[in-house]
Amino acid sequence: MDRKLRVGIIGAGNISHSHLGGYKALPDKVELVAVCDIDEQKAQNYAKVNGFPRAYKDYNEMLAKEELDAVSVCTWNAAHAEAAIAALNAGCNVLCEKPMAMNASQALAMKEAAERNGKLLMIGFVRRFGNDADILRNFIQAGTMGDIYFAKATYLRRSGCPGGWFGDRRYSGGGPLIDLGVHVIDLCRYLAGCPQPVSVYGVTYDNLGDNRADNQKGWVSQNSLGIDFKYTVEDFATALIRFDNGMTLNVEASFNLNIKQDTGNIELFGTKAGARVDPQIEFFSDMNKMFVDIKPVGNTALDFNGLFNREIKHFVDCVRDGIPCISPAEDGVVLMRILDAIYQSAAEGREVRL
């Protein structure tokens, strides 16, 4: 494509600013055309401050009028599917924030809409674009770790529901599992070469609720449109996921947990070496009859600087130059199938086969 990509944003909230920054970093490739939010005032202010020529309240109107090439879907989770499908049907390529949707059937409908329209649907699994993911994937692909047969992913907050719709199942589809767990489950699966899930055993708890010592710092129960949000999601989720390559993944995610401090880590265990990601990448193995801990030289901690810019650049390059997408809709569907199965397993108290 030798002209600039005409880009729109649907959902002018917090994360849209990270998408905006990514698009603004590509002034020769991208033209920011329009923004849309159901909060019309918010959309108008956003357009004014960030240099969009036009703002809309209704994405159907925006899609009908603007002949966009691409949109970012940055709404709350409940609106991802409808917005993405409308954009794909209008001939746009779509970058949709994680989680892909509220559930796997919505996700599948989105993927089918992309295929039907011959457009790209990329999912914003931003951790795939991290410097740490790049480094670890290179080591894994070079065979340093052997076969990875177990992974452990934690994303635990002592008191950390982001507030508002994030705590209301009707808008989010779930709590820390769908919001935080999705990042680390996807990253482990990506690093391990995207094996397919075969079964899950999951448990969720809602013992603590939102009324804790700090009354959920930042929690808002009503948004600017007067929508009342109710805290109806799990506090904590844990699951064991089995994949078709024999790997199991143990995941833990919380918004509320009686833990000393927030913690997050990914650990992978292979036949030749194990690795942990946090605070720096480190490998564990044995060599010449001695156990060795090996730390790559330099900073290998996840660097948020430029993280979203790399994701957005990849999306733009995929659309403009047709390069293969490293975060495609099919992986979003797999993640939603895993999350659905964990919630089902938790509700039914048994293993769920996929």
Ligand X SMILES: NC(=O)c1ccc[n+]([C@@H]2O[C@H](COP(=O)([O-])OP(=O)(O)OC[C@H]3O[C@@H](n4cnc5c(N)ncnc54)[C@H](O)[C@@H]3O)[C@@H](O)[C@H]2O)c1
Please enumerate in sequence order all residues whose Cβ is within 8 A of that of 351, keeping only pairs 6 or more positions apart, or say none: 199, 200, 201, 345
Sequence length of the chain is 354
CB of 140 to ligand X, least distance (A): 23
CB of 351 to ligand X, least distance (A): 28
CB 244 within 8 A of CB 148: no
CB of 316 to ligand X, least distance (A): 17
Closest-CA residue to 141 (of 209, 93, 194):
194
Nearer to ligand X, 124 or 160 (CB): 124
* Residue at 168: amino acid letter: D
CB of 258 to ligand X, least distance (A): 25
CB 6 within 8 A of CB 69: yes
CB 70 within 8 A of CB 119: no
CB of 269 to ligand X, least distance (A): 26
CB of 78 to ligand X, least distance (A): 7
Ramachandran area for residue 216 (φ above 0: left; ψ -120 to 50: alpha; else beta): left
Nearer to ligand X, 269 or 340 (CB): 340
Q: Which residue is nearest to ligand X (CB)?
A: 13
Contacting positions for ligand X (CB under 6 A): 10-16, 36-39, 42, 59, 74-77, 79, 83, 97-98, 124, 126, 164-165, 179
CB of 38 to ligand X, least distance (A): 4
E-strand stretches of 244-301: 248-254, 263-270, 274-276, 282-287, 290-294
CB of 295 to ligand X, least distance (A): 27
Angle at which helices 182-191 and 329-348 cross, to 10°: 120
Nearer to ligand X, 304 or 322 (CB): 304
CB of 14 to ligand X, least distance (A): 4
CB of 36 to ligand X, least distance (A): 5
CB 327 within 8 A of CB 314: yes
Q: What percent of the residues of the chain are helix, what percent strand, and what percent coil, each to the nearest 5?
A: 35, 25, 40
Cα–Cα dist 318/123, whole Å: 13
Nearer to ligand X, 108 or 352 (CB): 108
The counts of H helices and E strands in the chain are 11, 15
84 token code pair: 């993405």
The beta-carbon contacts of 299-304 under 8 Å, at least 24 apart in sequence, are: 300/131, 300/132, 300/135, 301/132, 302/127, 302/130, 302/131, 302/132, 302/277, 302/278, 303/130, 303/131
Give, rounded to a whole angstrom, the gap between the first and last alpha carbons of the chain: 40
Nearer to ligand X, 36 or 233 (CB): 36
Nearer to ligand X, 75 or 148 (CB): 75
Nearer to ligand X, 59 or 343 (CB): 59
Nearer to ligand X, 135 or 227 (CB): 227
Closest-CA residue to 160 (of 253, 224, 267):
253
Nearer to ligand X, 97 or 168 (CB): 97
Nearer to ligand X, 59 or 269 (CB): 59
